Amino acid sequence: MAEPSDAPRRGVWTRVRAAFARFRFARSSETFSLVGSAVVVGALAGLAAVAFDAMVGGTGRWVAWLQGSVGFVPGAILTVLTPAVGGLLITPLVLRVAPEARGSGIPQVMVAVSNLGGRVSRGLLLWRPLATAVSIGSGASLGTEGPVVQLGASLSNLVASVFRLNEERRRNLVATAAAGGIAATFNAPIAGVLFALEVILGQFQGRYFASVVIGSVSATAVSRTLLGDVPAFAIPDDYVLGSHLELPIFLLLGVLASFLAVAFIRAMVGAEDVLNRFQVPTWLRPATGGLVVGLLALVLPQVLGRGYDVTGSILNEQTVAPLLLAALLVGKMLATAASIGSWGSGGIFAPVLLVGAAFGALVGEAAQWALPAWDLRAGPYALVGMAAVFAGVTRAPMSSIVMIFEVSGSYELILPLLLAAVIATLGADLLHPESFYDLMLSRRGLSLLRMREIDLLQTVRVGEVMDRDVPTVFAEDTLRDLAENLVASHHHGFVVVSRSTPERMVGIVTLTDLERARREGLEPTTPLRDVCTCGVAYATPDEPASDALERMGRLGIGRMPVVASDDASRPVGFVRQTDLARAYYMAVSRERTQDELHEELRLRDLTGQEIVEVRVPRGAALAGRSLREAGLPKESIIVAVRRGGRTVFPHGDTTLEVGDTIVANVAPGFGATFRGLVTRVESAETLDG
């Protein structure tokens, strides 16, 4: 009786195992790659954060020992000069070797994820740590968090290459590295996840979430193993919300924090504008900013470096004197502006947190003075001030709230944290629509493709469509020469330069100028310097094509010279309205390609398969054959055939033609084999046989 009853069970179990094997075949490779790469990238990001901390801390301690061992006066001189010397040392790196090592690094990572398929320069693996350690260690008022994110992104590219991942997975790994870097730096794994999704990716999607969480956990585990499970800022355990009647004070703190956040952003770009206006030589720029920081440090040494110890003293209510808090707020902001504006290598996390802590403590001290019966403390307000100012500067309220919540470990302050951070974000957005990171990008003519609401032309730069062959005439030429050049070249306008300095633009002369000169009765021998238009509108290669088109439309002109970004008198190209029309079609093409990629990835996620597109080349063995005759393997399904701008929905009798693009759904890992089958070319003898 046992045998008949066991046979059906064995049959069911066999079918279950077979189904599980098929599922495992389709999913195991993808899942293993996801988990394995996230663990590796997270661990590398954690190691990078620990290494950055050791390098910057070691350099800073050595500089402090040197300043303290030479006596008071020489030490004061060293305090002033050390940041300038550090600026000189990093100048070759940020000017020539690795310009992407300037500043925070997070805007560059945002562009890499949004526009460049997650690709980050591998040269940063060496030059970013060196530049940041020298810059912050010598006294620049910057933080290591942004550089850690950028270094982790560069490391993730190495891992992506090893695993042979596509662009979507590369972007995912960059976000994973960002989460790991933030998590390891602040011992705040949840904040790391939110920052990666909120700022780096700019979107919350399920396919990103898993690897980002795994990377954050992996990085935190590494940092806790090496540094211990200690918070970034140790604060007392008794920080609580004394009464819900304090919430209006925290609301006011959020409103004021929005103004402070905007002031911080404008100070950063203002310092850059000042250095540009005074035309400080580029090779002296980092040293100039360092000298400003050194002079500030002579009066207020707390502005040097990251300032974690100063922030900690404010949070622990060891620094509560209102005048000192105000001096720290203003001094740290000015020192950070000088460091960022002079191309120092470091981020803004640490400075913003110090400024926010000083601001919050000031609000707490003012509330305590105004309401002495409430027994208020400055510490909780300093903690909430950090979250509010950081949220206003970065427009990342969730990351800010959770980061400070994880640092404090106190649920008692969650209501004021939520209220102040959200109010500061809304207020800052009304006062200044761009976050610090977005502003850094827009000032360099860059836009994020993920921001669908932006003008398409903002995604194409003038340098991509301009004519690099600049049509020029000499200022010493005559109207007769101009007429001959117009006829011979078929151009309608020329850039006017001098024979003595042909690399410098004098002005622009067009067919309209020639007609005007003839109407005014000017002699044919009149030199062009007397008829050309000086002080003309121009474009730069780095600015969006939309800005150039708007300028041309406003001025009613059809062409503009393009000048070097760092020298408005040196022409490097010419842009016409027809070029900008071409820019629009480039932008539309990019948008369409991006949409198609997203759709392919969506289909891949839904089916667990790989979407492949391959073109049938001339001489291909499959050309002229029907799909039924092609004998394609069962691991592939043809879902569409694109032919001459239209889509053919295939069936067995559909004949493949040269130039067709086949869209197929294939089994994992079968993509390369399928492409080879479609593009295989056979000799005439083989085909006849």
Q: What is the pLDDT at residue 591? A: 66
CATH homologous superfamily for the domain 28-227: Clc chloride channel (1.10.3080.10)
Half-sphere exposure of 54 (CA within 13 A, CB side): 9
Question: Looking at the predicted structure, is the pLDDT value of residue 9 above 50?
Answer: no
Q: What is the pLDDT at residue 616? A: 87
Greater confidence, 78 or 606? 78
Output the six-digit token pair for 683.
């000799």
Fold assignment, 609-688: Alpha-Beta Plaits (3.30.70)
Greater confidence, 441 or 315? 315
Give the range with max mean pLDDT: 4-13, 495-504, 592-601: 495-504
Distance CA 32, CA 620 (A): 36
Q: What is the pLDDT at residue 390? A: 95
Question: pLDDT for 223-270, tens place per residue?
Answer: 999 988 877 787 777 787 777 888 999 999 999 999 999 999 999 999
Mean residue pLDDT across the chain? 82
Greater confidence, 602 or 177? 177
Which segments of the chain belong to CATH 3.30.70.1450?
609-688
Which segments of the chain belong to CATH 3.10.580.10?
462-583
Which residues have CB under 8 Å from 381's CB, separation 6+? 249, 250, 253, 360, 361, 363, 364, 367
Question: pLDDT for 287-334, tens place per residue?
Answer: 999 999 999 999 999 999 888 999 999 999 898 899 999 999 999 999
**Domain 462-583 CATH class label:** alpha beta
Output the six-digit token pair for 352.
């913003």
Outline where 141-205 has alpha helix (H).
Answer: 145-163, 167-186, 189-195
Per residue, the 3-state secondary structure of 360-409, as one string, reads HHHHHHHHHHHCHHHCCCHHHHHHHHHHHHHHHHHCCHHHHHHHHHHHHC
Question: pLDDT for 200-235, tens place per residue?
Answer: 887 666 656 888 899 999 999 999 999 888 777 877
Which segments of the chain belong to CATH 1.10.3080.10?
28-227, 244-442
Greater confidence, 580 or 186? 186
Q: Does domain 244-442 have CATH number 1.20.140.10?
A: no
Question: Looking at the predicted structure, is the pLDDT value of residue 26 above 60?
Answer: no
Find the mean pLDDT for residues 624-637: 81
Q: What angle, 0 to 180 degrees and rounded to 10, lies between the N-to-C axes of helices 72-92 and 2-68?
A: 130
Q: What is the pLDDT at residue 136? A: 93
Q: What is the pLDDT at residue 366? A: 93
Greater confidence, 647 or 416? 416
Q: What is the pLDDT at residue 31? A: 66
